[in-house]
Amino acid sequence: MVQMVSLRYSFVSISMGFLLINGIRAARRWEYEPISVTGISSNDSLISFDTKIVRISRGEFGVSGIVEWNYDTTDKTMMEAVVYRSSSGDESDYKLLPFSVPKQSFYDYLNSYYKEVIMKNLGHCSNVPQFKGKFQPPWPKKTYIAEKCVFKADGLPDIILPGFYKIVFNCTGPNQPSWDFIGIAKIRNKMF
């Protein structure tokens, strides 16, 4: 159970694209290459994304980007994420995996996945809100900036089936824009 949870958290983090190839844990049999991080908004004047993968050093990648958040969330704002895998990388080949962030209110998401994964990984390299205890609305409307954020791939299993993994976050609300954030990474077996 504990392992399932951390696995799920890890995929969520990957999805956000704080991606890293590292050899810190000798037991890990895989490495990954981030392919893309993309935000899609139903209304760019309410929320817009400009994110990209940046090379930090040989074999090490992070994510930099700007998110212009310009609308008010409410307790009706909903958030969810699903994960897909494709062996070829072809769009038509992606199949849903049993890892997800179940659909929940944005504020519940902030108190769980966001706090456990996003805040921990993005706190030091961006200006995303950080809080102790329970999140107190409002979620600030502002320009969020991330600079070379690298995901510490803690909690992932030592063996992962090679292939392309895609995570899709989706956020919607009544009379609000809807947006997706999509991260794709390629996982392969490590060569020794």
Q: Interface with ligand NAG by CB under 6 A: which residues?
A: 40, 42-43, 45-46, 170, 172, 178-180
Nearer to ligand NAG, 100 or 178 (CB): 178
SS3 string, 71-82, reads CCCCCCCEEEEE
CB count in 10 Å sphere of residue 158: 10
Distances (CA, A) of 56 to 36, 53, 133, 147, 172: 15, 9, 33, 11, 33
* Nearest-angstrom CA–CA distance, 119 and 101: 16
CB of 164 to ligand NAG, least distance (A): 20
CB of 40 to ligand NAG, least distance (A): 5
Nearer to ligand NAG, 42 or 88 (CB): 42
CB of 130 to ligand NAG, least distance (A): 26
Nearer to ligand NAG, 7 or 46 (CB): 46
CB of 158 to ligand NAG, least distance (A): 34
Helix then strand then coil, in percent of the chain rounded to 5, is 20, 45, 40
Nearer to ligand NAG, 165 or 169 (CB): 169
Nearer to ligand NAG, 17 or 62 (CB): 17
- DSSP secondary structure, 82-137, as one string: EEEEESS--GGG-EEEEEEEEEEEHHHHIIIIIIIIIHHHHTTTB-----SSS--S
CB of 91 to ligand NAG, least distance (A): 15
